[in-house]
Amino acid sequence: MNRVRKNVYVAVLVTIAVILTGTCCVSAMDKVNINTASVEQLMQLDRVGANYAQRIVEYRENNGPFKAPEEIMNVKGIGKKTWEANKDRIVI
């Protein structure tokens, strides 16, 4: 009987882990419009914290909307590594 309980317990834990992982992965792949996103939304991008997110907002306020997603690399501190990590998620 203890063996059955242990197997059920393990199955429940595995199921919960799969559900939580799936939810995390789905939200991590959401598209981010760099012309309309808030600082908080921009922070969902990989390698973008509060300071870089604020720089993105300030850049678009000072220079107008981005015309192409890769223009995010014009923002001070946003380079090729950040672009490569997020290029499938950034939209305009």
DSSP state string for 30-64: --EETTT--HHHHTTSTT--HHHHHHHHHHHHHH-
- pLDDT tens per residue, range 17-32: 656 655 444 455 799 9
- pLDDT tens per residue, range 36-58: 999 999 999 999 999 999 999 99
Contact 55, 42 (CB under 8 A): no
Provide the 8-state DSSP code for 66: -
Contact 84, 27 (CB under 8 A): no
Summary mean pLDDT of the chain = 86
Q: What's the predicted TM-score (pTM) here?
A: 0.70
User: Could you give the percent of the chain with pLDDT greater than 90?
Assistant: 68
